[in-house]
Amino acid sequence: GAVVSQHPSWVICKSGTSVKIECRSLDFQATTMFWYRQFPKQSLMLMATSNEGSKATYEQGVEKDKFLINHASLTLSTLTVTSAHPEDSSFYICSANRLAGETDTQYFGPGTRLTVL
């Protein structure tokens, strides 16, 4: 159990276009999902916290108008990179919280590799 999927697994787009990435919890409900970004050979950096039915909370330095997050249901969160530019090329990973015992456990999706030409 506790599987998180992402779609697409990779995407190549032209500069200026928008790209939508989906994150789904397949066998559990997640009131909270998280979006991370990872540049090559670097660690993951939290971008935003996505709460079902409310606005996302963005980390400092992350442009909310550029990275639109929608958490429309308890199993789906989407990240839209608007007007993508080459510097947005990165590995985007989502995770979903599931209460396991006394502690929230985060389950990570397989990631989406975005390449902006």
Partner 1 sequence: SQQGEEDPQALSIQEGENATMNCSYKTSINNLQWYRQNSGRGLVHLILIRSNEREKHSGRLRVTLDTSKKSSSLLITASRAADTASYFCATPLGGADGLTFGKGTHLIIQP
Q: Compose the 42-81 pattern: x for residues touching partner 1 by CB under 8 A, - for all others.
A: xxxxx--x-x-------x----------------------
Residue 86 or residue 101: which is nearer to partner 1 going by CB?
101
Strands 112-116 and 32-38: unpaired
Q: Which tokens sit at 22?
A: 């989906």
CA-based Rg of the chain, rounded to a whole angstrom? Answer: 14
Distance in angstroms (rounded) separating the CA atoms of residues 51 and 68? 13
Distance in angstroms (rounded) separating the CA atoms of residues 79 and 68? 6
Residue count at the site for partner 1 (CB under 8 A)? 27
Residue 16 or residue 26: which is nearer to partner 1 going by CB?
26
Judged by the rule CB under 8 A, the positions of this chain that interact with partner 1 are 6, 31-32, 34, 36, 42-46, 49, 51, 59, 91, 93, 95, 97, 103-111, 113
